[in-house]
Amino acid sequence: MLYNNDIFTKIYFVNANGQRVDLTNYHSRAVLNGMTGYGLPQYDRNEVIVPYNNQQILDSIRITPRTLHIPVFIAGANPYLIRSTINQLRKWLAPDVGSDDGKLYIERPTGEIRYLNCRYNGGLGGNDKEIGRNYAVLDIEFRAVNPFFYKSEESSYTFTQSASVGTFLGDPFFPLFITEGAIYNNATFDYGGDAETYPVWTIKGAGDSLILRNLTTGKFLSLQSYTIQDGETVTIDTRFGEKSIENADGDNLMEYMAELSSLWALQPGENSIRVELSNTNGNTEVSIAYHERYKEA
């Protein structure tokens, strides 16, 4: 049998309850050649007919959910151990474990790890692809409504009144200083993912008239009508499936978004951003955190 170790050295799934299922290890489990669905996602093309012309043009392209098929080889000393392993996989991979998606982690020989938010979708229903006295081959399927892979390492930066020259999200930048009473400055950096990603902003008061701008795309997010009290924390979560603005008490602050505001994303390549906040003090902090997003593992 041919193994997939030259492409991926480790593959494991962590369900919504935090239970880890190794699909590869060094003694009894391996992913075989034939794994599919880890490259570019599927695209849905919408074409329209041009009036008074006998042809069609491309109107839009949409990335659709992703399905992965992973052929897994399982070894064991006897049929009992084989069945015990399969039963454990069924228990921990079940798609109704927890209310959230699990995460499928894929590690390359370089050590880089990316994960996919997904759920088990098939392959453990009893129709085993191949099974013997001391081995089994399973074709396990995962389904991801959000088809993008994420770098497991989070990038983050926090701006405070004592901010000094350093690095911003791992790249050289012009630092954003929070001066006495206000923040108003720009930072330019390179985002390494090949698909846009949506960050999480955390703002600790005091401060008001908040505006977060992506000068590269021209988009902004404004809470100009909301005053963040001294010691209050506001979290702006723009991630896929989240999209919320709340304080630590759980109050929904979406109503304070100014007209034309958007929960904007970081684009692949260079992004120039600006943070604007008035009436700050020594407790004020503005933080950004995100995971680089990719179209393939």
What was the pLDDT predicted at 166?
A: 37
Q: What is the pLDDT of residues 177-225, one digit of tens each?
A: 555 567 666 777 789 999 999 999 999 989 999 999 999 999 999 998 9
Segment 110-135 shows an average pLDDT of 87
Q: What is the pLDDT of residues 18-34, one digit of tens each?
A: 999 999 987 899 999 99
What was the pLDDT predicted at 235?
A: 98
Q: Which two tokens stand for residue 66?
A: 């992703």
pLDDT(161) > 80: no
Q: Which two tokens stand for residue 100?
A: 């959230």
Name the pLDDT band for 282 (thresholds 50, 70, 90): confident
Place of tokens 């396990």: 140
Look at residues 197, 163, 166, 149 and name the one whose alpha carbon lies nearest to residue 287: 163
pLDDT(167) > 50: no
What's the chain's Rg over C-alpha atoms?
Answer: 24
Q: Cis (ω within 30 of 0) for the bond into 206?
A: yes
Q: What is the pLDDT of residues 35-80, one digit of tens each?
A: 999 999 999 999 888 887 778 888 899 999 999 999 999 999 999 9
Residues 6+ apart with CB under 8 A from 140: 23, 69, 70, 71, 72, 89, 93, 120, 122, 123, 124
Q: Name the helix (H) or strand (E) containing 70.
A: strand 66-75
The sign one gets for the Cα dihedral 255, 261, 266, 270 is negative
What was the pLDDT predicted at 93?
A: 97
All structural domains of the chain, each given as residue ranges with its CATH number in brackets, are: 10-151 (2.40.30.200), 155-294 (2.60.120.860)
DSSP assignment of 229-283, as one string? Answer: PTT-EEEEE-STTT-EEEETT--B-GGGPPTT-----BPSEEEEEEEEEES--TT
Look at residues 193, 67, 181 and name the one whose alpha carbon lies nearest to residue 118: 67
> Do the Cβ atoms of 38 and 141 come closer than 8 Å?
no
Q: Which residues of 233-247 are buried (b: 16+ CB within 10 A; e: fewer)?
A: bbbbbbbeeeeebeb
Q: Which two tokens stand for residue 271?
A: 């992004």
